[in-house]
Structures are given as C-alpha cells and as structure tokens.
Chain A
Amino acid sequence: MTDKTVIIGLEIHCQLNTKTKLFCGCSTDFQGDEPNTHVCPICLGLPGAMPRLNKQAVLYALKVAKALKLTVPEVSEFSRKNYFYPDLPKGYQISQYDKPIAEKGIMEVDDDEGHPKNIRITRIHLEEDPGRLIHKTSRDRAGYSLVDYNRSSIPLIEIVTEPDLRSPKEARRFLNKLRSTLEYLEVFDGEREGSIRVDANISIKGHNRVECKNISSYKGVEKALNFEITRQRNLIRKGQRIEQETRHFLEGRGITTSSRSKENENDYRYFPEPDLRPLRVSGWIDDIVLPELPDARRERFIAQYGISENHARTLTGDLKVANFYESVADADPAIAAIWVADILLGEINYRSMRIDDVPTMNIGDLIALIRDGTITDKSGVEVLRVMLDHCIGEDVETCEMPADIVTRLGLTKAAGDDFTAEIGKVIAANPNAVADYHAGKKGAVNFLVGQVMKATRGRADPKELNTAMADALKETEE
C-alpha cells in the first residue's frame, strides 16, 4: 500500500512595516498615492546609486527571530539574486543567501486532532521587494504594462519552514499564528495589500515535490494545497509520475498551473553584495524586549478573566481583537468574552468591517446593559446591529449610544407584569396547545413561550418567561 502522508513546507514573504524602505529613505506609506511618488535614485536603481541598510528593518527581523527562537549568527551577509524582470529595477534583488540573519527556530501549532506540535523554522532572511507591474489592455493596441516603483525596496522577511506540515488546514493554522505573532511584535500590518506572499512546497510521501508560487492570501494557501493534493493523488492513482516543477496558483480559479519548464528555470547567480559590508548584529538581539505573545496572552486571559480556553483562543488570535476585549472586559469579563468572541466578530465579519471601526465605548456600554439585566441578549443583538449598521464610519461622538437605541426602540426588558397579561392572552387563544401540554406533550410549552416572545418583541427574559408560563399552565390544570 502506498503512503498517503502529505508533506508541506512553506516560504513566507512578509512586508515589515518600517517607516522607510530597506535601502533608502523613501517612505513606505504609499497606500493610495500616485504611482512612482515614493521613489529616489536608490529604489529606482539609477546608475551610481548605492544601498544603505535600514537598521529598523534589521531590528524588526531580529525581533521575529527572537520570538520564533531562531539562532542569530554573529555575522550575516547580503547577496544579490540576479534575474531580469521588468519590475526589478537593478536586474537583481538584494537578498540574503548562504548567511541569513537567523537560522533554526520553532513555532508550535495544533495538528488536525488538536494536539500541539512543533514546526521547525529553517531560516529567516531579509530582502527587498521589487516594484509592481500594472498590466493594461486596450482595444486599439496590444496590451502593455506600467511599472510602479513605490513598492520597490520595501523590506521583506522570508520565513522558511522545514517540511513539517501535514495538511492544508495545519498550514493555514500555522500561517494564522505566524501572522498573529508578527502583529503582536508590531512589525507587520496584515491588512496591507500584498503584505504576505507564500510559496508552498508540497509532496505526497515517496513522490516528487511541487512548488506552488506566489499565493497571496491565507485562504489561497489552503486552496492551492488542497488542489495540489487532489491533483497529485489522482496522478499517483493513475500510476503517473509527478513532475518536480514550479506551479503557479491562479487565485481566481483556485487551481495551479505549470509555470515554467526546467530548462527555463532561473539561475540566480547569487554572490555577496559588494556595496554592503557584512552585517554584524551581536548584542542587538539581547537588547530586544519581546512583548507578550499570543500563547502567553491566551494563558493570561484564562487565568485573569476566568474565560474558556476557546474564547481565550479566539480573542487572542488577533492583536486588535485582544486589545479590544481587554478594553471592554472590565464591565464583566465573562459576558464580554461571549459578546466579543461569539457575537461581535461574526457581525463585523458579515459586514466586512474591521475591529478598529468599532468604538469600544459603545460596546462597553452594551455589555453593561446586558450585565445589569436592562435588556435581553436578543435585544442586545438588535442594538448591536443597529449600531454597526448606522453609526460606523461616523464620528464616535455623534454615534448613538446603546442606551439611546434601547429607549428609541423600546427594547427595555419587559418586567414580569408586562408579560403576565400576554401569557393569559396566549393561553386563551391557543386551547389546543394547552390541551396538548396537559396530555403530556411538554414540547407544546415552547410554542406558547414563542408566542409570548413574539408579542413582546424579545424583551422578555427567557428564563423568567419559562417559569411564569409553567406556573400559568399549572393553574389551567385545576
């Protein structure tokens, strides 16, 4: 029998969110700006311009190295990766080759059974991003391309793993955790377009390895890997050979296609960058203070707020969500955990909103209303939706506060007296259901309760209502 084990290794390129580029002083903050407005002789690769290394980028890379427990050698070196491409101004990329800034680390992720396992990190190296091509087509002429060098020389780290991942889901979890870690380290902004790009190596044990290049989303990685597993298993089943090759992932179609034959494979002709001295960072790494990382924060949330492991995991997976939770947890950590992790995240996801768009003050108030029993959970959801739909994007000051929404919509929880009358009405109007109840069909009570809920538009506390309904039905027995 053939072994079906899937073997996956990843190469992840992440943009570091330094203020300036890796080898020049140009600003990296070009989102939304005109093409070629954040450029200079260095990042345009003009003749005679020379690179000057950005220390901040080195420190960011070292921060990541420390967090992932890599070894940082005393001396590392920049090398030139030579290839021609229209988005590459110098005809080479300044990268690192045989002397990367950090080697041999680990990151723990859960496998598909939920057991923690260590994924080995082979290396981390620093390199510069090329520019960006914008392909144009027009009716009256052949297609053409424009080059935008704003991105040229943005610092990247490439993180390479050993082939320790065993499923696309595991790979996705690894990437999520990596992203989360990088964000906790404040070296990376996952929301920037193109901030992460992944090359995935995948094989079925005993067969050739295939490299899927340039996957630009987390979802894409899982999709590409699933597609490859199916494709490779089908070939194996048919007794065909799997070519060792590079394949390109087409995000839109969710498939991979063979991108170049072996004869056209680039020979990058790496050699040490003669315009930069070897990089000596001894001592720097000791000065780096790591912030609390996702695992530690999760443990703290469980201990400090007494919330469930699952809630803690959801809340700490994203730095901004974790910060958000902590700023609303004061009112009631348990209720806040439910409202942020189970309800708010779903609602903003549905609206393609970001947690940054949600004012913490309003959510804090909402949680307090629920804690105090002013409104029911059901009404709370309604208030939340009204808030998200209407007040987002507006100035937080002018945003309607939850208490005002409750008043305006009359959502204050119905007092016992309020729904006693409704119970009487519902019992009177549904003699069949009452009869069913007495005949032993206890489920009939749910129907009756539902009718009262409907009449009070969810303002009745479900627990109180159930008790009152049971009492009222008992009375009809006599």
Chain B
Amino acid sequence: MVKEYFFEKTDRTNAFITRLDLAMYEETGGPLEGKGIAVKDNISTAGIPTTCGSRILAGYVPPFDAHVVTCLREAGAAIVGKTNMDEFGMGTTTENSAYGPTTNPHDTSRVPGGSSGGSAAAVGDGMVDMALGSDTGGSIRCPAAFCGIVGLKPTFGRVSRYGLIAYSNSLEQIGPLGQTVTDVNTLMSAIAGPDSRDSTAYDRPYTHTPSSEIAGMKIAVPEEFFGEGVDPTVAESVRNAIGKLEDAGAETMACSIPSMAYALAAYYVTCTSEASSNLSRFDGVRFGPSVETKRSWHDEYRDHRGTFFGKEVQRRILLGTFALSAGYYGKYYAKAQVARENVRKDFLRIFKDADIIAGPTMPQIAFKLGEKSDPLSMYLADILTVPANLAGVPAISVPCGTVDKMPVGLQLIGRHFEDERVVDAAFAYETEVI
C-alpha cells in the first residue's frame, strides 16, 4: 500500500533544493517504513529533479532511480526531498551551490560543511533522522562533524554508485548520515545491497547490529592528524574522546602516515582529472537548460558550459584538463596515482597492528560563511578526510564535544570492508559518553 508522508518541518538552513511536502512511501514492512529520508541532490531520483546544486542541471528530472534510492523505497522510506550541496560536490562548505548556501543549524552565521551540507543540516536541525550523502574527499564526514551528527563513508565498493552523478568515480562513495550511530547503521544496512550495474561494487551486503564491546580493540593515532594546521582546542577534544575509547577497553598506539604529505595533492589531481572528464557530458544536447546560439556546435558548448557551470566547477575542470594533457599526464595524474598507492600502503601497514585509526575529522570547527574565500585554504581543510578516500577504506565521523559551542568530530577509520568495526568503535564512543 502506498501511504502519504507529510513533511512539514521548516527549512531554516536552506538544506533542501527540492522538498516534497507530501512524500509517498510504500508499506513494505522494511526497516525504514514511514521514515522521512533526505537525499543529496547528486543522487538520481526518478521523477524528482536532480540538480547537483548546479544551474546546468536545472530542470533535469532523471528517468531512473539510483540503486540506493531503489533500496530506500524498498525499505519503506519516504523521500522528503533533495538536499543542497556544493555544485557537483566541489567544496567543503556548501557555499558553492547555485541555490544559495546552506547554513549550520548550530549557528546560522557558519557553514554546515560540505559538500553534503544540506543532508547534514537537515539531520542536524532535526528535520529528518537520516539522510544520504556522498563522500569524495570528506563530503559526508566534514558536514557531519560541523553539524554535530554521525556520518559514514563506506569502503569503496561497498555501496553501488549507480545513479550517483559522478564527480570523482574512483574516490567517492554514497553513505549515510544520522542523528545517532544506530540510525547510520540502519541506513547503511538498507543501501548496501548488491548491484551488478556498478562494476566497481562488490557483493558485500551489510547486516550488522552495533556493539559497544571494544575491549582489546587496537586504535592507532597518527601524529599527522594532530600536526600543524589542526586547531589545538579541536585536537584536545579529540584526544579526550580517544581517552574515552581507552576507558571502554581499547588500546591505543602512536603511528605515522608519512604519505599524508602528498595526500592532498594526489587527491586534488585525481578528483579534478576525473571531474574534467565526467562533466564533459553536460553539453546542453540532451538535458539541462539551453543557450541561444546560432553558431557552431563548438560555440554552443562553450557558451552553455561557460554560462551554467559555477566558478569552482570551471576551475576544477580546467585544473583536471591540464593535469591530463599530453606532456603533463606523467607529471601530475600518473604521479598522483603513485602517491595514492603510497597512502594505501601506509594504511595497510598500520592496519597490520591496529584495528582502527583515530583522529579529528576536520582540523577546525565550522567556518564562518565566506571565511574561506581563497580556494587553496579551502582545499587545505580536507587534509584529514582525503586519505581514507585515496585508500578506499571506511571512515566515520562521530560528534565528540564542542569548541566555542560548535561541534567537533572524531574520525574513526578502519580496514577495507570492516565498516562494521568502524561503526562499533563509534557506537562504543557514543555509548560511553551518554
């Protein structure tokens, strides 16, 4: 039976690009039956506009559901709307949206983080219990940390990306955001079903009940996560949180990830390169708005893309195009892949001895709107989240106290396909502090 879900919450943070005041859901007897769920606007929803926060997709209504959306519908969820985001996921604040910035529910003069800022703000403000985001270099964990909620980036290949509008295919994963670890666990169980349409996804369903039993769990704490650029008060909060995990029976050890020196560069070369190619399809021929051009197709493409892509998107397309160009590929793209492999090796080495790597999610608390006007300083804010994407390992952000009344996130990173253990560690922390 199809039932009605009235979504009447006020959107004071501009969390939604499209909202459905009357959403429908199916009585499937599934775990999400009758639950209102928000979906990031880069995840395709049949019949509901999907814009990626961009003008270039204004008016685009996908003819098909992303795999995760099919999963949501089968689990009985009511999709209440599509959440705001940095255009195509390119940003750390949700300020780069063609539909205006989203603000932080804890302080509306601050950003919610990004790029899944709309999803995090919707959850953080209590509009919904759970939301879907996507994480390319921290886009779930960063806004989860800034908005004081839980966000999981699953292992690369754990959740089908079919229907996720690609920004950087080899780095990104769809993942759950929620008020609590339990909510995140529930949503993760719903979306991790097998799907052969994503050739990079493995058939590794997620059926797990969180356990706070972490006695004997080995937690490595990398010195680089507390280095230069990390706000000391944030660092202190996170160290206290790790202390709580020790109280719960975990053993901690120091470690080092030397490859982190190159992680940010490797990340930005890889994601801009892939983006420059992924975003080529936005040419105005088959979808999106149109420009009046009575000249050649070449002119029309240029006008269309020049008009409807935002500044940051154009910047990253240019960077990526450059990095892949003849004569530069070896210097940039190929080198980035070497650096990426080194990050992966560092993680594998640490994970021989440790079960979990712990540190801050973000080096600072949520920025003021407009504070990071220089793209480079914005990029630097991703330093603690991108390594997990480069390595493809699962990582969660769980709230661990406040600094200046703003939430701080504890990041817990695990081995490939040990999403369950990462969730357990977060659950143990959550249980410990309640």
Instruction: List A contacts of B298 (CB < 8 A).
Output: 84
B286 within 8 A of A: yes
**Chain B nearest CB, measured from A402 CB (Å):** 56
Q: Which residues 190-216 in B have Cβ within 8 Å of A in the complex?
A: 196-200
Q: Is the CB of A274 within 8 A of B162?
A: no
A145, A147, A271, A276: most-surrounded residue (chain B CB, <10 A): A271
Is the CB–CB distance between B277 and A52 below 8 Å?
Answer: no
Q: Does A50 contact B (CB under 8 A)?
A: yes
Q: Which residues of B contact A91 (CB under 8 A)?
A: 277, 279-281, 283
Within 8 A of A (CB), among B35-59: 43-44, 50, 52, 57
Q: Which residue of chain B is the closest to A142 with respect to CB atoms?
A: B294
CB distance from B21 to the nearest CB of A (A): 25
Report yes or no: A89 in contact with B281, Cβ–Cβ below 8 A: yes
When the two chains form the complex, which single residue of B163, B199, B286 contacts A275, counting CB atoms closer than 8 Å?
A: B199
Docked-complex contact B277 and A50, CB < 8 angstroms: no
| A276 partner residues in chain B, CB cutoff 8 A | 199-200
A283, CB-defined interface residue at 8 Å: no
A41 to B285, CA, bound (A): 14
The A interface, classified by DSSP as helix, strand, loop or mixed, is loop
Q: Report how far A82 CA is from B286 CA in the complex, Å.
A: 18
B57's partner among A47, A49, A84, A269 (CB-CB below 8 A) is A47
Q: Across the interface, do B196 and A52 meet the contact criterion of CB distance under 8 Å?
A: yes
* Contact across chains for A47 and B281 when beta carbons are under 8 A apart: yes
B7 at interface (Cβ–Cβ under 8 A)? no
Q: Is B161 positioned at the interface, with any CB of A under 8 Å from its CB? A: yes
Is A274 a contact of B169 with CB atoms below 8 Å? yes
Contact B200 A92 (CB under 8 A): no
Query: How many residues of B are counted as interface, with CB atoms below 8 angstroms from the partner's CB atoms?
Result: 46
Q: Is the CB of B62 within 8 A of A48?
A: yes
Alpha-carbon distance between A220 and B409 when the two chains are bound, in angstroms: 67
Residue pair A48, B166 in contact (C-beta under 8 Å): yes
- Count of A interface residues, CB-CB < 8 Å: 30
Interface contact A89-B286, CB-CB below 8 Å: yes
Chain A residues near B280: list those with CB within 8 A.
82, 84, 90-92
Q: Is the CB of B274 within 8 A of A274?
A: yes
Distance of A41 from chain B, by nearest CB (Å): 5
A133, closest chain B residue (CB): B297
Per the 8 Å Cβ criterion, residues 211-270 of A in contact with B are 267, 269-270
Q: What B residues does A49 contact at CB under 8 A?
A: 64, 162-163
A53 in contact with B283 given A48-B162, A48-B166, A84-B301 (CB within 8 Å): no
Q: Which of A129-163 contact B (CB under 8 A)?
A: 142, 145, 147
Least CB distance, B354 to chain A, in whole angstroms: 28
Question: Bound state CA distance, A276 and B321, in angstroms?
Answer: 21
| Cα A374 to Cα B341 with chains together (Å) | 81
What is the minimal beta-carbon distance from A57 to any residue of chain B, in angstroms?
14
Q: At the interface, yes or no: A45 with Cβ under 8 Å from chain B?
A: yes
- CB proximity to A under 8 Å, residues B245-295: 273-274, 276-277, 279-283, 285-287, 294
A417 to chain B, nearest CB (A): 80
B60 within 8 A of A: yes
Q: 23 A-B pairs, CB-CB below 8 angstroms?
A: A46-B64, A47-B44, A47-B57, A47-B166, A48-B43, A49-B163, A50-B162, A52-B196, A80-B277, A82-B280, A82-B324, A86-B285, A89-B281, A89-B286, A91-B277, A91-B281, A147-B285, A271-B274, A274-B200, A275-B166, A275-B169, A275-B200, A276-B199
Query: Told that A269-B324, A269-B325, A274-B170 touch, could you supply 15 new A-B pairs with CB distance under 8 A?
Result: A41-B62, A46-B63, A46-B64, A47-B50, A49-B162, A50-B161, A50-B162, A51-B199, A82-B277, A91-B279, A270-B329, A271-B273, A271-B277, A275-B200, A277-B200
- What residues of chain A have their CB less than 8 Å away from a CB belonging to chain B? 41, 44-53, 80, 82, 84, 86, 89-92, 142, 145, 147, 267, 269-271, 274-277
Interface positions of B (Cβ within 8 A of A): 43-44, 50, 52, 57, 60, 62-64, 66, 161-166, 168-170, 196-200, 273-274, 276-277, 279-283, 285-287, 294, 297-298, 301, 321, 324-326, 329, 333
